[in-house]
Amino acid sequence: MRIAVLSPVAWRTPPRHYGPWEQIASNISEGLVKRGFDVTLFATGDSVTSGKLESIVQHGYEEDKDTIPKVSECLHIGNIMEKAGSFDIIHNNFDYLPLTYSRLVKTPVVTTIHGFSSPKIIPVFKKYNDTGHYVSISMSDRSSELKYIANVYNGIDAGPFTFIGKPGDYLLYFGRIHHDKGTYEAIQIAKRTGMRLIISGIIQDQAYFKEKVEPFLNDDIVFVGSSEPDKRDSLLGNAFALLHPVNFDEPFGLSVAESMFCGTPVIAFNRGSMRELILEGRTGFLVNNVEEAADRIAAIPGINRAYCRKWAEENFSQDKMVEDYIKVYRKIIER
C-alpha cells in the first residue's frame, strides 16, 4: 500500500518546539514506515522522516516570516494532489482546504479532523461528507452534521518520554500561552496551593501574556518559554502534577497524554476530550474551577504514577494509533 501523508506547513514536521498537527503527521508517517508501508510525507523541505519526503515549501510560514501563508498552503496542497495517482491513500492532516481537490482525484482521501477552529468551517466538511472519510480524534469533538469512518486517538511515540516514579515538588503548565489553554487559571491554582509553578509554551497571545501572566512572574511562578524535546521530557517527568485548566472544549490535548507517559498525573478542567484522556482518580482529576483544582493537589500522592504510564501506553501510543489507521485504510480500499 502506497500512502501519502499530508502535513501542514506552518512548522517543520516533526516540529522543533510547537506544532501538534505536524507532530501527529510525523508519528503516523514514522509508525507506518516501521510497519513496512511505502510512505511519502508531504511537508516542508526541512522536515525529517524515515520515509520519502516531498516538498515544495522549504520552511514553515511560522518560522519564515518572509513567506505568505496562503501561498505556501496553495503550493503545498496542489503538489500532493497533482501526484495523487501515485498513491493508494492520501491521509490529510491539513484541515479542510485539501477537501476542495478531493473529487478531482481518484485516490481516496482520509481526513483526520484535528479540531474545528470555528463552526463556520463545518459547511466545507459537510459538502464532502460522502467522499471525505473523516476520522475524529475524540468522541467529544464530533459534529452531528458529519459522517465519520472512525475515531482514532492521537498516538505518541513513548521513546522520548521517560517514566519517573519520584516526582519533584513543582506544578507544571505546558502549552500555548493563551486564554483558551488557561495559563492564568494555572497561576491561580498554584498560588492557592503555595506550590512552585513552571510555565512552558509559546506566547500565542502577547496581550494576554502581558496582562494575565507577566505580572505574576516571580521566583515561584517561572516562565521558561518553549521547550525542545529533551527539556519537555524533563519538565513533564519531574513535575508533581500537570495543570491543564482549559477554557474551551479541547479536541485532544497532546501534553496531557505526554504527561501520563512520564507518569505524571493531570488535573484538568472537565471540558471537551478531557474525560476521555483522564481516568478520574487513577491518572488524575477532572475539576470545574480553580478552587476544585487546588483542593485536588492534596490527593495527587495517591495516584499511582506507574499506572499513568500504563494507561497512556494502552490508549494513546503510536502503535495503537497506526494500527487503527491501517484498519481505516483497508476498510476504504476494500470498498
| Residue 309 · residue 163 · CB < 8 Å | yes
**Whether the predicted pLDDT of 18 surpasses 90:** no
**Whether the predicted pLDDT of 141 surpasses 90:** yes
Q: Kindly list the distances between the CA atom of residue 177 and the CA atoms of 62, 202, 215, 230, 233, in Å, as whole numbers in the listed order.
A: 16, 6, 14, 20, 19
The model's pTM is 0.93
Concatenating the DSSP letter of every residue in 287-313 gives ESSHHHHHHHGGGGGGS-HHHHHHHHH
Chain-centroid distance of CA 41 in Å reads 18
In b/e form, how buried is each residue of 142-151, taking b as 16+ CB within 10 angstroms? beeebeebeb
Q: Which sign, positive or negative, has the C-alpha torsion 305, 311, 313, 317?
A: negative
pLDDT digits (tens, 9 = 90+) for 67-81: 999 999 999 999 999
- C-alpha span between 325 and 321 (Å, rounded): 6
Look at residue 17 in the predicted model and tell me its pLDDT.
85
CA torsion angle 317 323 328 334 (round to 10): 180
**Whether the predicted pLDDT of 269 surpasses 90:** yes
Residue indicated by cell numbers 492534596: 298
Q: Which helix (H) or strand (E) holds 328?
A: helix 318-334
Mean pLDDT of 229-234: 93
Look at residue 332 in the predicted model and tell me its pLDDT.
96
pLDDT digits (tens, 9 = 90+) for 201-214: 999 999 999 999 99
Which grid coordinates belong to 295? 483542593
Q: How many CB atoms lie within 10 A of CB 114?
A: 21
Q: Name the burial class of residue 191, with classes exposed (0-12), middle (13-18) and buried (19+) by CB atoms within 10 angstroms of its CB.
A: middle
Look at residue 107 in the predicted model and tell me its pLDDT.
98
- C-alpha span between 4 and 26 (Å, rounded): 12
Q: Which helix (H) or strand (E) holds 325?
A: helix 318-334
Ordered by where they begin, the domains of the chain are 2-155+317-334 (3.40.50.2000), 170-315 (3.40.50.2000)
Look at residue 165 in the predicted model and tell me its pLDDT.
96
Residues of the chain with pLDDT > 70, as a percent, come to: 100
In b/e form, how buried is each residue of 302-311, taking b as 16+ CB within 10 angstroms? ebebeebbbb
Look at residue 90 in the predicted model and tell me its pLDDT.
98
| Residue 197 · residue 217 · CB < 8 Å | no
For residue 152, name the pLDDT band (cuts at 50, 70, 90). very high
Mean pLDDT of 297-317: 98
Instruction: Supply the mean pLDDT for the chain.
Output: 97
